[in-house]
């Protein structure tokens, strides 16, 4: 069953087109991530789905219902913001239960839902605390719990981890993944972090300049990007791009090769002038230049390579990606 359908959705602010002809389907229970650089329209798209912004054109359907004119509170959605948006004068229990009280739910229903959500999120010991007494990660869990108790048809997450430090981001990401498995409810998650997109999503929607560039599973997009933008956006370190003449091809072609597809050899291949070495313990990233292009090689293990020297890098032809002058993927 389809949980959400966006059909030819557009959004303009005056003469500025922010979203252009968006067509997306989210299946029941699917975890979909909208990803793209700042200004690509991903948060605006989420707000249009939520009803916080009106679509300028197109249809928004949640389940079988056309909801273009339906107010946010009637759409059966729950949204989690990056800013937590907790009421400072209410404790955790009351922050989580407020929407249910406003909907005049019975007290036993409210107590049961709050107890269930707090157990899922390990918040049982914090129900009587106030937001000022919580860490950033705990506040975000409260915001997620407030969404869970509403038992929505659709969860919307707007960059929920951006205010957390690296360790908390990883922990909270795992908690969100676990929640998705436990709740089996459709989730839409907005981020500019491609690592979050790759590790959380069943399906990724890559956006640029208000348009959908590609939709697919994380590995479909990673292994078969339709253009240079998608190829360069997904993957860390990012894909390397060089002129075709380095590979015996037409110089007008751009050739892409992922850092992990490069390997050290004694001679031949690409000659890299080393500018910087990142020693990460299990991996070593070697950064330098091949001709006029910056290139990163991701090498397994520890390597005693020093800046200022040169190394030769081998590759397999099967690991190369080719792009025309407009950035489209081709298969020469």
Give me the pLDDT at residue 156, please.
95
pTM of the complete model = 0.91
Give me the pLDDT at residue 168, please.
78
Give me the pLDDT at residue 166, please.
77
* Parallel, antiparallel or unpaired: strands 283-290 and 203-208: unpaired
Q: Confirm if 40 and 66 have CB atoms less than 8 A apart.
A: no
Residue 52 has φ and ψ, to the nearest 5°, of: -80, -20
Give me the pLDDT at residue 125, please.
93
Tell me how far the alpha carbon of residue 8 is from its chain's centroid. Answer: 22
Residues forming CATH 2.40.50.140 domain(s) in the chain: 237-330
Give domain 2-230's CATH architecture: 3-Layer(aba) Sandwich (3.40)
Fold of 237-330: OB fold (Dihydrolipoamide Acetyltransferase, E2P) (2.40.50)
For the chain, list residues with pLDDT below 70: none
Give me the pLDDT at residue 51, please.
96
Residues forming CATH 3.40.50.300 domain(s) in the chain: 2-230
| Helix residue ranges per DSSP H, the chain | 42-50, 92-102, 107-120, 136-148, 166-183, 194-200, 218-223, 228-233
> Which residues pair with residue 66 across a beta bridge?
61
| Strand ranges of the sheet holding 310-314, from the earlier edge strand across to the other edge | 263-265, 310-314, 270-279, 283-290, 293-300
Give me the pLDDT at residue 8, please.
98
| Strand ranges of the sheet holding 321-323, from the earlier edge strand across to the other edge | 240-243, 254-257, 321-323, 329-330
The per-residue pLDDT for range 33-58, each reduced to its tens digit, is: 999 999 999 999 999 999 999 999 99
Q: Confirm if 66 and 74 have CB atoms less than 8 A apart.
A: no
Give me the pLDDT at residue 167, please.
78
């Amino acid at each position: 069953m389809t949980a959400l359908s966006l059909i030819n959705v557009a959004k303009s602010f005056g003469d500025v087109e922010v979203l252009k002809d968006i067509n997306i389907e989210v299946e029941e229970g699917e975890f979909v991530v909208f990803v793209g650089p700042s200004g690509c329209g991903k948060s605006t798209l989420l707000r249009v789905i939520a009803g916080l912004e009106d679509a300028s054109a197109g249809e928004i359907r949640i389940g079988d219902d056309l909801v273009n004119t339906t107010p946010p509170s009637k759409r059966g959605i729950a949204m989690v913001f990056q800013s937590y948006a907790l009421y400072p004068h209410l404790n955790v229990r009351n922050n989580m239960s407020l929407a249910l009280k406003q909907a005049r739910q019975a007290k036993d229903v409210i107590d049961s839902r709050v107890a269930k959500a707090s157990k899922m999120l390990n918040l049982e010991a914090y129900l009587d605390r106030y937001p000022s007494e919580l860490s950033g990660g705990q506040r975000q869990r409260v915001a997620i719990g407030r969404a869970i108790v509403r038992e929505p048809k659709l969860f919307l997450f707007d960059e929920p981890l951006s205010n957390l430090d690296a360790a908390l981001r990883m922990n909270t990401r795992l908690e969100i993944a676990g929640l998705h498995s436990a709740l089996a409810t459709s989730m839409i998650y907005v981020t500019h972090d491609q690592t979050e997109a790759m590790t959380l999503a069943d399906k990724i929607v890559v956006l640029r300049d208000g348009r959908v560039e590609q939709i697919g599973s994380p590995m479909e997009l990673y292994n078969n990007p339709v253009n240079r933008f998608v190829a360069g956006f997904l993957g860390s370190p990012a894909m390397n791009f060089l002129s075709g003449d380095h590979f015996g091809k037409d110089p007008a072609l751009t050739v892409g090769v992922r850092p992990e597809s490069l390997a050290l050899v004694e001679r031949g291949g690409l000659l890299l002038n080393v500018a910087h070495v990142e020693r990460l313990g299990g991996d070593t990233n070697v950064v330098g230049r091949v001709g006029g292009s910056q290139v990163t090689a991701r090498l397994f293990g520890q390597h005693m390579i020093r800046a200022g020297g040169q190394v030769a890098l081998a590759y397999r032809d099967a690991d190369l990606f080719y792009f025309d002058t407009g950035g489209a993927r081709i298969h020469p």
